[in-house]
Amino acid sequence: MGTNLSAGIMSAKAAPSDLAQRIMSRTGKGCANAAILMLADGTVFYGRACGAAGTACGEVCFNTSLEGYFEVLTDPSYAGQIVTMTYPQIGNYGIDPDDVQSAYPGSTERGAATPALRGMIVHDMCHTPSNWRSSISLPEYLKDNGIVAVEGVDTRALVRHLRDHGAQQGIISTEVFDLTELEEKLAEAPALVGENLVKTVSCADEYSYAAADLPAAHAFADAAPAPAKYRVVVYDCGIKRGILEGLVRVGCELTVVPWNTPASHVLEMNPDGVFLSNGPGDPDAVEETYAQVQQLIGKVPLFGICLGHQMISLACGAKMEKLKFGHRGGNQPVMNLISHRVEITAQNHGFGLVFPSLGKLIPELSGGETEHPADGDLRVWAQRGIAPVVQNERFGRIRLTHINLNDGTAEGIQLLDSPAFSVQYHPEAAPGPTDAHYLFTAFARLMDGDVDYLDIDISKDRLAGWVFDSEDASATVKTQA
């Protein structure tokens, strides 16, 4: 029926002795109920409950970020998933609501988000955080928001299993421990592939977002935004607040619209540009969005990230593939084939673009090559220092601009005959590194009509959004504190 790979964890059916309860009650963790994780292939892990009581099903995946668990927790792109954090201890700096990334439907007000993910798995949950910004512990937050979570799991063994066998459906529970019953519940749960999760996390109505909406609590670190110059329509497929902030900081006034807003309505707004956001799940299931994108390409400057990148790709007629275990974390190396610089990036996606499906190579723009790499590994282009270009049947020439150096998958494209580009990763550093901050600047330059909008000094731009880059940074920090 499966193997318990969490050595040393007691059987979930066994009640702790009176002595064990007295000992645990005097620790920072206190007494905890048993919890269980079962994967679709029958593998079983036992642990302790550290969130809300209940049972949850979803795709079990893992995130390798060393920090930023709250941003991960409130990222709408995790809808339908049970997230395993690979860093050993989670929750040690608590929760500050100012860092929330989602305004999920059902919240009482925009900014008071309800997490979209199904559950969380950690090795060691910190119940007593230490941080001047923390207002509540992570376990308390999970309980308040109805998120089932498990600690005490050997997350190294779990992650190795997922890497070897692929991300898969799973079920976690603090109330059901019969393996047959868990197996039945898991079999009844909907699969991630083919399910449109975007409609569950998008906004219901249009709303605006401008400089006045930036969180004042972040002013001690963030530089003042650029003066408003561009009117941008944002397709909300599950957008993170950090991305809205990144757009505002380069001078955009935003109108955020639902995921299925008709292209005709967007064009009636006469925007300077359109942004396509991140979002959860299977991109092929979000036809209502990429059908609109197909009508927008060539008519208005476009910038897409993550699911937005997939929407532009699908609008061009490309194919998507489900990655074995996805890219999730803040340490993914990406080569920019235009600047030949490597960016350490934050990512969260389980599907990717099959670049050859966009069209045949144009030899004179691809170093004389006429065939795509037979093994599908795009790192050959980094080795040759070439950003290859294909001829697309719908929109002309499309250039491969970014590749993942871990597995050779596509990470970014640029339409050469229409003002549009996209990347598979997240530039807003919430959480993660700031190497990709330049992409917001690139979008502004695209809207200005700059043909070399991607030719940016990444090392300088990555510091542009912080007060720490200015000569009077220390004085600014003192004043704002």
pLDDT band at 8 (very low <50, low <70, confident <90, very high): very low
Q: Is 392 annotated as a binding residue?
A: no
Residue 114: is its pLDDT beyond 90?
A: no
Mean pLDDT of 131-142: 95
Mean pLDDT of 93-114: 67
**Catalytic (active-site) positions:** 306, 426, 428
Pairwise CA distance, residues 414 & 353, whole Å: 13
Do 149 and 250 fall within a single domain?
A: no
Give the burial string for 136-152 (b: 16+ CB within 10 Å, else e). Answer: ebbbbbbbeeebbbbbb
Q: Is 331 annotated as a binding residue?
A: no
Q: What is the pLDDT of residue 481?
A: 42
Q: What is the pLDDT of residue 235?
A: 98
Q: Is 281 annotated as a binding residue?
A: yes
Mean pLDDT of 12-23: 60
Q: Which of 32-41, 163-172, 213-222 has the lowest mean pLDDT?
A: 213-222
Domain presence at residue 6: no
CATH of the domain at 38: 3.50.30.20
Q: What is the pLDDT of residue 343?
A: 94
Query: What do you get for the CA distance between the two ends of the chain, in Å?
Result: 57
Q: What is the pLDDT of residue 434?
A: 87
Q: What is the pLDDT of residue 169?
A: 97
Domain boundary among 168, 188, 208: 188
Residue 334: is its pLDDT beyond 50?
A: yes
Mean pLDDT of 459-470: 70
Nearest to 436 by CA among 332, 326, 308: 332
Mean pLDDT of 195-199: 94
Q: Is 351 annotated as a binding residue?
A: yes
Q: Which residue has the tokens 């206190």?
A: 30
The answer to whether 50 touches 139, Cβ cutoff 8 Å, is yes
Domain presence at residue 445: yes
The answer to whether 388 touches 415, Cβ cutoff 8 Å, is no
Residue 382: is its pLDDT beyond 80?
A: yes
- Cα-based angle 382, 387, 391 (whole degrees, multiple of 5): 140
Pairwise CA distance, residues 200 & 25, whole Å: 40
Q: Is 348 annotated as a binding residue?
A: yes
Do 93 and 228 fall within a single domain?
A: no
Do 365 and 460 fall within a single domain?
A: yes
Q: Looking at per-residue confidence, does 464 or 469 come out higher?
A: 464
pLDDT band at 456 (very low <50, low <70, confident <90, very high): confident
Helices (H), 191-286: 241-249, 263-268
Q: What is the pTM of this model?
A: 0.90
Q: What is the pLDDT of residue 388?
A: 98
pLDDT band at 469 (very low <50, low <70, confident <90, very high): low
Question: Which structural domain, as residue segments, surrounds residue 124?
Answer: 18-188
Q: Which of 120-129, 230-239, 389-398, 466-475 has the lowest mean pLDDT?
A: 466-475
pLDDT band at 32 (very low <50, low <70, confident <90, very high): confident
Q: Looking at per-residue confidence, does 113 or 116 come out higher?
A: 116
Mean pLDDT of 104-122: 67
Do 184 and 202 fall within a single domain?
A: no
Do 150 and 204 fall within a single domain?
A: no
Q: Which residue has the tokens 């880059």?
A: 469
Do 367 and 323 fall within a single domain?
A: yes
Q: What is the pLDDT of residue 332?
A: 95
Residue 111: is its pLDDT beyond 60?
A: no
Residue 63 parent element (H or E): strand 55-63
Domain presence at residue 319: yes
User: pLDDT (tens digit, 9 = 90+) per residue, 404-441?
Assistant: 999 999 999 999 999 999 999 999 888 988 899 999 99
Q: Looking at per-residue confidence, does 149 or 470 come out higher?
A: 149
Do 168 and 92 fall within a single domain?
A: yes
Q: What is the pLDDT of residue 242?
A: 92
